[in-house]
Amino acid sequence: MSENVNIKINGAAMSVPADYTILEAAREAGIDIPTLCYLKDVSKTGSCRMCIVEVKGARALQAACVYPVSEGLEVMTNTPKVREQRKLTLELLLSNHDRKCLSCIRSKSCELQDLADELGVEGISFEGEMTEHDIDNVSPSIVRDNKKCILCRRCVNMCKDVQTVAVIDTMERGFKTRVSTAFEKPLSDTACVNCGQCIVSCPTGALYEKDNTKEVWDAIADPEKYVIVQTAPAVRAGLGEEFGYPMGTPVTGKMAAALRRLGFDKTFDTDTGADLTIMEEANELIERVQNGGKLPMITSCSPGWVKFCEHYFTDFLDNLSSCKSPHQMFGAVMKSYYAEKNGIDPKNMFVVSVMPCVAKKFESGRPEMEADKLRDVDAVISTRELARMIKQAGIMFDKLPDEEFDVPFERASGAGVIFGATGGVMEAALRTAADTLGGKSVEDIDYTEVRGIEGIKEATVNMGGMDVKVAVANGLGNARKLLESIRDGKADYHFVEIMACPGGCVNGGGQPIVPSRDKMDVDVRVQRAKALYSEDVNSKIRKSHENPDMEILYSEYFEKPGSHKAHELLHTTYIKRNKY
């Protein structure tokens, strides 16, 4: 508990906690101060000077995002001098900016563009020399275009301090300053894990996902192709934001309707894949526990986390569950079981995954992700790319009816839905493991200890007489901490869930981008997770093993979890990668 201090902003007196900055105090008082380099919980460099204010008694204008409040402080946020200076700063920034908004991916969701509008920039009076930069688009997940970069460092701080991957940084100085990798290598030649958190931190069009919508449009237009789409749980929790719905509105029904209208032959739910993952993973866990296998077992459904492990924690590779991630499993089921059953030549099948994640683009291209020379998944598009396709197709999203996913596989469980939030995979696995180990159906299935956005969560759950110790980490900085404590023998668990993105997939690198100023008011991770937990509560089936399609899949095809066939199609292997 910190004490309060009395301050005045624009003449109005208020009492605020002593550890606030002027920016935080003003925001609470309903006063909006423009910012650019500040990103709550991530970046506080005080370098862009967009947030300058007049502080009584101080000679120069001060940056509100870093200036602490103190007793008696008097601040003016909206004087002619402040407005002039902010405008000048922005115009200077824009004079070395590739101002091609019409063809820029971030147009309409760009913080720089918003500021130019708000501050009334009319013409750029100085036409500066433009810095030359090449676009790095070698990575299957991420594109970097430094011509749009304003050097705010939000991406650098995200990658370095939050994710502890640290493959991008600021290089050189003065006019030549740029964000880049060591020795200017393409991102794909570094230990970048493709989490895309840099993208969702960036205020401009300098970082964006590799666009795969063209391949999808081409497949849909090709009469030879049988095009199947599947959507991950977190997509329904974020997609609505692209169409003006309040954050946290689940839009499952409209999303299914939109996909159908885009022309996909079948519209399925990755949650079925998630249920299948739980069947395999719970079985793997029980086997490891009973046969003295390597523990803790760690989840493998977050490809950003998997690559992080392959670069930085190679001593934990055997701890990773051998299960493929849900959409890869589902793709493999499509090209085997589903193709056979429906007499479709799997070579003509084209499986599209809509994901909240850009690391899934890398994952689907991994050489391991195929069986019988058939790729599990042919294209991955992010939530943002799906929104673009819907807009391009002239579909008025809000006017769509609510529709169901296609039959079969329309009956995924609530356990599959919560996969999209941190702790969700753990909870889903516990629901199934508890029934299996206890030999009876457990009633109380809300494992609230593993829910919520805390970086590292722990719980001990008694199942069939055995105390199962579990831990959940979200965000790679937290994963690093957790793994180090396991490595040092300070903690021991049976089962660990790790998701690369803070808050889990709902806050993935492929989700709609939320302006930094909105992030001061709402917690994206909490709001979007609510959409998933509400869908879970309303599900008729809330345990993966009670999804009737699992019964069908195993009796007709896979026989039992961990079978030979399951291993061929649903499991994978990992490799050691270099750090540098």
Residues that bind ligand FES (CB under 6 A): 35-38, 46-51, 63, 65
The residue from 62, 113, 146, 181 that contacts another protein (CB under 8 A) is 181
Residue closer to another protein (CB basis): 162 or 357 = 162
Binding mask 148-167 for ligand SF4 (x = CB under 6 A): xxxxxxxx--xx---x-x-x
Binding mask 431-470 for another protein (x = CB under 8 A): ----------------------------------------
Binding mask 138-177 for another protein (x = CB under 8 A): ----------------------x-----xxxxxxxx----
- The yes-or-no answer on residue 360 being catalytic is yes
Identify residues 517-576 at the interface with another protein (CB under 8 A): none
- The yes-or-no answer on residue 84 being catalytic is no
Site for ligand SF4 contains 201 (CB under 6 A):
yes
Residue closer to ligand SF4 (CB basis): 107 or 460 = 107
CA distance 580 to 578: 5
- The yes-or-no answer on residue 385 being catalytic is no
Task: Tell me how many degrees the CA angle 559-561-567 measures, rounded to the nearest 5.
Answer: 90
- The yes-or-no answer on residue 490 being catalytic is no
CA distance 268 to 133: 42
User: Helix crossing, 270-290 with 326-333: angle to 10°?
Assistant: 110
Q: Which of 503, 501, 580 is nearest to 312 (CA)?
A: 580
The residue from 57, 127, 183, 540 that contacts another protein (CB under 8 A) is 183
| Contact predicate 250/239, CB 8 Å | no
Annotated active-site residue in 74, 215, 287, 368: 368
562-577 CB burial, b ≥16 within 10 A, e <16: bbeebeebbbbebeee
- The yes-or-no answer on residue 368 being catalytic is yes
- The yes-or-no answer on residue 281 being catalytic is yes
Site for ligand SF4 contains 198 (CB under 6 A):
yes
Site for ligand SF4 contains 507 (CB under 6 A):
no
CA distance 508 to 531: 15
Shortest distance (Å) from residue 38 CB to ligand FES: 4
Question: Among the candidate windows 110-118, 295-303, 341-349, 513-521, which touches ligand SF4 by CB under 6 A?
Answer: 110-118
DSSP-derived pairing of the beta strands 178-180 and 379-382 = unpaired
- The yes-or-no answer on residue 324 being catalytic is no
CA distance 195 to 304: 5
| Contact predicate 235/275, CB 8 Å | no
- 46 CB neighbour count, 10 Å cutoff: 16
Residue closer to ligand SF4 (CB basis): 10 or 314 = 314
Shortest distance (Å) from residue 3 CB to ligand FES: 25
Q: How far is CA 517 from CA 31, 51, 78, 396, 570, in A?
A: 12, 12, 17, 28, 42
Q: Which of 363, 371, 419 is nearest to 533 (CA)?
A: 419
CA distance 230 to 2: 48
Site for ligand SF4 contains 309 (CB under 6 A):
no
| Contact predicate 159/198, CB 8 Å | yes
Question: Among the candidate windows 106-114, 460-468, 518-526, 551-559, which touches ligand SF4 by CB under 6 A?
Answer: 106-114
Shortest distance (Å) from residue 65 CB to ligand FES: 3
* Sequence-ordered alpha helix ranges (H) in 174-269: 197-201, 213-221, 233-238, 252-262
DSSP-derived pairing of the beta strands 142-145 and 135-136 = antiparallel
Question: Among the candidate windows 107-115, 125-133, 449-457, 565-573, which touches ligand SF4 by CB under 6 A?
Answer: 107-115
- The yes-or-no answer on residue 202 being catalytic is no
Residue with tokens 């939109």: 258
Q: Hey, is 382 helix, strand or coil?
A: strand
Q: Hey, is 370 helix, strand or coil?
A: strand
Shortest distance (Å) from residue 48 CB to ligand FES: 3
Count interface residues toward ligand SF4 (CB under 6 A): 41
Question: Among the candidate windows 2-10, 19-27, 185-193, 546-554, which touches ligand SF4 by CB under 6 A?
Answer: 185-193
Residue closer to ligand SF4 (CB basis): 111 or 535 = 111
Q: Which of 233, 269, 231, 275 is nearest to 547 (CA)?
A: 275
The residue from 157, 190, 328, 527 that contacts another protein (CB under 8 A) is 190
Shortest distance (Å) from residue 167 CB to another protein: 5
Q: Which residues bind ligand SF4 (CB under 6 A)?
A: 97, 99-101, 104, 106-107, 110, 112-113, 142, 148-155, 158-159, 163, 165, 167-168, 179, 187, 192-198, 201-207
Q: Which residues bind another protein (CB under 8 A)?
A: 160, 166-173, 180-183, 190, 579-580
* Active centre residues (catalytic): 281, 284, 301, 321, 360, 363, 368, 505
